[in-house]
Amino acid sequence: MTEHEHVRVAVIGSGFGGLGAAVRLRREGVTDFVVLERAGSVGGTWRDNSYPGCACDVPSHLYSFSFAPNPDWPRSFSGQEHIRAYLEHVTDVFGLRPHLRLNSEVKVMTWDGERLRWVIETSSGTLSADIVVSATGPLSDPKVPDIPGIDTFPGKVFHSARWDHDYDLRGKRVAMIGTGASAAQIVPAIQPDVAKLTLFQRTPPWVMPRVDRAISGAERLLHRTLPVTAQLRRALLWGIRELQVQAFTKRPRELGLVEQVARRNLFRAVKDPELRARLTPDYRIGCKRILLSSTYYPALAQPNVDVVASGLGEIRGSTLVADDGSEAEVDAIVFGTGFHVTDMPIADRVVGVGGRTLAEAWAPGMKSLRGATAAGFPNWMTIIGPNTGLGNSSMILMIESQLNYMADYVRQLDVLGDRAALDARPAAVDAWNHRVQERMKRTVWSTGGCTSWYLDQNGVNTTVWPGTTTEFRGATRRVDLAEYDLLRAPAPAQPVPSGPSVRGTKKKAEAGA
């Protein structure tokens, strides 16, 4: 058998999740790990999304690692380039560069049940690992709808997350497809430059004003000299969102007040009643992600913008045909149509026990134990796994909870010895998901009267966490070994003891077993 390089842990992806995992592993004293990254630099979604106007709609003092505060955030909502620079900085400060394997795309990772390890084939070679931490993120693979006739379009086509900076949009007739968070930032950024902008809006979003401002030099100095002030700022931002989440998860009716603020935002910016009607949502606010923008509506009210209140249905040469039959001639199409979230391509590349892929296991719907592990995929865990997303707060809080779980998982495996693996018990996975889905019933994502990328093809919400970040923190503090089967491999050079074999068989896990 060919011997590969072997590591204790292979982390996949170098966005917030992967870099956070790397920092945490080092802090746990684990240095035998690699971070596999398909691109040539770190940053994940904050590297790939470089479209004009790209910024975060969670304040930076909350949208950053608690263990790597940045007193110098320039604005309350930082732009993509600052967040990307922050992640490069984290990579340097925490000494992660030696662990990075850039330009190493994972082609397939296969569970070796004999040796209890993952064999990982990448574009730069093969290695194996005792544990895989998959931090590929839900917003990494762009989704472009299969529009009939797209091949006949003679102009430029690209997705928001693959912006072609060499293509000059100035003076062009541009179609923007979609009205999600990406489109809402792109539209005001490009509207002044293009000759004509046609927005294909299948569903109008709810848009709240964005209260963004530069963080003054005095504030930054204060945060630098008295770090506790930055901590307080973060705590305040977190606390407000923690209180808000109850309205999303338990009392959606309370969101009516928020709808009034969003309606006023629309009325202030758009005077034409017919356009206003087209832009007014007919579902409860929060059901789809709420957009924050004070420039989106004003841009749509400009004379060079046309809002088509219908999805893009067909393309005939340079003519785009909406589902309602209206047509627009354009030079370029920008797809702001989101990502493969509930059908992540990486799932096809994870081959677990018995040769079953994660995509096959998740075909009826994504399911995991505590957002991390999946039955039949021993010693494999994901960061931002099923039902760990948030509707209103910082994903970094959820990522750090998952890092706690990962750290305890590695610790417990160490105690069990290096020839052991843990496989989530199907009953534990089902019990966790039952609890999550029971709580989901009351949430605005289920009752709000919309469809969204939070829901899978069966209409089940397999992406969002239906509680507070504090509750998730509590649920991921420790790995409960009773929720796992313990797999043991015999030591290679040892004579096989008489009695029942434990090779490749499952035992209910017990500490120190």
**Distance of closest approach, residue 45 Cβ to ligand NAP, in angstroms:** 8
Structure tokens, 136: 């590929």
What SS3 string covers 29-46? CCCCEEEECCCCCCCCHH
**Distance of closest approach, residue 44 Cβ to ligand NAP, in angstroms:** 12
**Distance of closest approach, residue 289 Cβ to ligand NAP, in angstroms:** 4
Calpha distance 396→404 (Å, rounded): 12
Q: What does each C-alpha distance from 51 to 142, 212, 435, 447, 505 come to in angstroms?
A: 13, 19, 39, 33, 50
Looking at the Cβ atoms of 163 and 408, the one nearer to ligand NAP is 163
Structure tokens, 316: 């005939």
What is the number of helices (H) and of strands (E) in the chain? 14, 21
Looking at the Cβ atoms of 60 and 368, the one nearer to ligand NAP is 60
Structure tokens, 353: 């026990």
**Distance of closest approach, residue 27 Cβ to ligand NAP, in angstroms:** 28
Q: What angle do CA 131, 133, 134 make, to 5 degrees?
A: 135
Strands 319-322 and 327-329: antiparallel
CB 223 within 8 A of CB 71: yes
Looking at the Cβ atoms of 83 and 129, the one nearer to ligand NAP is 83
Residue 190 DSSP one-character state: H
**Distance of closest approach, residue 180 Cβ to ligand NAP, in angstroms:** 2
Structure tokens, 361: 């296991």
Looking at the Cβ atoms of 102 and 144, the one nearer to ligand NAP is 144
CB 248 within 8 A of CB 286: yes
Looking at the Cβ atoms of 169 and 308, the one nearer to ligand NAP is 308
Question: Interface with ligand NAP by CB under 6 A: which residues?
Answer: 55-57, 139, 145, 160, 177-183, 185, 200, 202-203, 289, 311-312, 336-338, 453
Looking at the Cβ atoms of 129 and 346, the one nearer to ligand NAP is 346
Calpha distance 151→315 (Å, rounded): 8
Looking at the Cβ atoms of 175 and 509, the one nearer to ligand NAP is 175
Say if residue 253 is exposed, middle or buried (CB neighbours under 10 Å; 0-12, 13-18, 19+). Answer: exposed
Structure tokens, 424: 């989530």
Task: Identify which of 299, 298, 99, 277 has the alpha carbon closest to the alpha carbon of residue 193.
Answer: 299
Task: Identify which of 254, 258, 237 has the alpha carbon closest to the alpha carbon of residue 246.
Answer: 254
Looking at the Cβ atoms of 185 and 402, the one nearer to ligand NAP is 185
Looking at the Cβ atoms of 202 and 220, the one nearer to ligand NAP is 202
**Distance of closest approach, residue 244 Cβ to ligand NAP, in angstroms:** 16
**Distance of closest approach, residue 145 Cβ to ligand NAP, in angstroms:** 4
**Distance of closest approach, residue 377 Cβ to ligand NAP, in angstroms:** 26
**Distance of closest approach, residue 161 Cβ to ligand NAP, in angstroms:** 7
